[in-house]
Structure 1
Amino acid sequence: MHKHEDHIAYFIADLHLASSRPELCAAFFNLLPKIAEDATDLFILGDFFNFWVGDDVLSPFTTKVAKELANLSEQGIHVYFQHGNRDFAVGENYAKLCKMSILPEIYTLPFAPKIIVLHGDQLCLADVKYQRYRKIIRNPLVLKCLHLLPKSIRLRIGLRLREASKKAKRHTCIDNQQCYCDVTDNAVEKMLAQYSANTMIHGHTHKPNIHEHHNGTRWVLSDWEKTGDFLKWDKTHGLSRHTFTILPVE
């Protein structure tokens, strides 16, 4: 039994973990003891991995991640995962290996029912091309067909999609500025109203900030690049942001 009676939740997103980025993996592994000591719940809000092509394509790296998350769960921390646009193919088999629960793409916190969490890509309605792709690729029949392909082909597809995503984001322009496609206010406000929420937490855009909307507040998590970023919630203090420097691995 965890020492806390009340929930203390940590939220992370967009780590883009990959075996080629050992400094990101080390930063995440180094954060886990703090979570184990301090929290009751860890919410991973998508793009945890740089890409994912199936639970049957494991590696020493993904097995190590699973072992660390399972260890966290065994210490009494509830671990939750939402799909992102890079790791939407993470399935129940890997979730069981990690001892984590897969959440629906929009989730209301049971211990804070005015807060909803999501990856955030579904809010970027101005990116019409991506929304069309998202609707197709998330179709269960399409996913089933993809999983029937040989592992080598799925890996090539995953690498191509990753590169295409990087290229598209480099050329996405909002308000005449070179940046990632951002969310639309109408989508945010509609979703807050639909879920009777006054607070939203998401990632995806790589633009950390706190935005005030007419019917609520939106907290945006950062990606992990040179700086790690997480949000913490507890009943007494509400939400707070915490950052730390990601150090190179020697």
Structure 2
Amino acid sequence: MATLFIADLHLHTEEPAITAGFLRFLNGEARQADALYILGDLFEAWIGDDDPNPLYREIAAAIHALVDTGVPCYFIHGNRDFLVGKRFARESGMILLPEEKVLDIHGRRVLILHGDTLCTDDTEYQAMRKKVHTPWIQTLFLALPLFIRHKIAARMRASSKAAYSNKSLEEMDVNPQAVVNVMEKHRVQWLIHGHTHRPAIHSLQANGNEAFRAVLGAWHREGSMIKVTTEDVKLIAFPF
């Protein structure tokens, strides 16, 4: 058996091929897993669990169908869907995890997170992240009418794209020392994350020994998953 990890699907109504690929994944490979972990940005945007978008209900039902077969599904919030709440968790059967979680998987101690907190060189983003994760700001936002939340979210996405166009790839990638720091904080030799859309398995030094950072790819033109078994850890790309 295997434990599966995915991230950065960015599901939205304008990309039906990605949605179809995810639904096939849930009905296929995921059914054979010990567990499925979604490490953030499952959705392109999330303005509240009360959004009646039919896509969200479809995804919730599909994940719940997987859970009903006996495969637990866990979720860590991303920078796009950090407002996914308890209501959607109940609808989908997902278990919400903290932003940093250590797992013991097939003899490996593995830290999982979304990955945006590791991009410490992007100080502008980190300042914005701190602001939008302020509890009272989230409460105020979720109290607004849906149509206003949609407008705010669209404006924020446009601003984000404009900001990224003026930043270097290095600035938006993880900071190597931040990676080592978080791995030593949790005393792990394996780290799995998404966010950067740069799929690879990197070797580094942490806790005085060789360590590994596995990065998930985004679901743009193909799917991406990390499969952890007793034998190894594999980064796998697959067609929708």
Tell me if both proteins adopt one fold, taking TM over 0.5 as the criterion. yes
Spell out structure 1 runs of 4+ moving beyond 3 A: 110-113
Match of 2:236 in 1: 242
Take 2:146 and 2:165, find their aligned partners in 1: how far apart are those partners?
Answer: 29
Match of 1:64 in 2: 58
Tell me the number of residue pairs that the alignment of Structure 1 and Structure 2 aligns: 235
Amino acid at match of 1:28: F
Output the aligned Cα RMSD: 1.4
Aligned with residue 204 of structure 1, among 153, 170, 195: 195
Q: Could you say what secondary structure the match of 2:172 adopts?
A: coil
Amino acid at match of 1:54: G
Match of 2:17 in 1: 23
* Structure 1 residue 204, shift from structure 2 partner: 0.5
Does residue 232 in structure 1 map to residue 227 in structure 2?
yes
Runs of 5+ unmatched residues, structure 2: none
Aligned 1:1-250 pairs, distance under 5 A: 8-111=2-105, 114-174=109-169, 181-215=172-206, 216-235=211-230, 237-246=231-240
Identity of paired residues, percent?
36
Runs of 5+ unmatched residues, structure 1: none
Take 2:108 and 2:133, find their aligned partners in 1: how far apart are those partners?
Answer: 27
Cα gap change, 1:225/1:174 in structure 2, threshold over 3 Å: closer, same or farther?
A: closer
Take 1:10 and 1:114, find their aligned partners in 2: how far apart are those partners?
Answer: 15
C-alpha offsets along residues 141-182 of structure 1, whole Å, 9 cap, x if unaligned?
Answer: 11111111111100111111122222222221145xxxx710
Q: Could you say what secondary structure the match of 1:126 adopts?
A: coil
Take 2:161 and 2:71, find their aligned partners in 1: how far apart are those partners?
Answer: 34
C-alpha offsets along residues 205-242 of structure 1, whole Å, 9 cap, x if unaligned?
Answer: 1111111121121011011111211111112x221121
Q: Could you say what secondary structure the match of 1:144 adopts?
A: helix
Q: CA contact under 8 A between 1:86 and 1:162: conserved in structure 2?
A: no
Normalized against structure 2, the TM-score is what?
A: 0.94
Normalized against structure 1, the TM-score is what?
A: 0.90
Q: CA contact under 8 A between 2:108 and 2:190: conserved in structure 1?
A: no
Q: CA contact under 8 A between 1:36 and 1:75: conserved in structure 2?
A: no
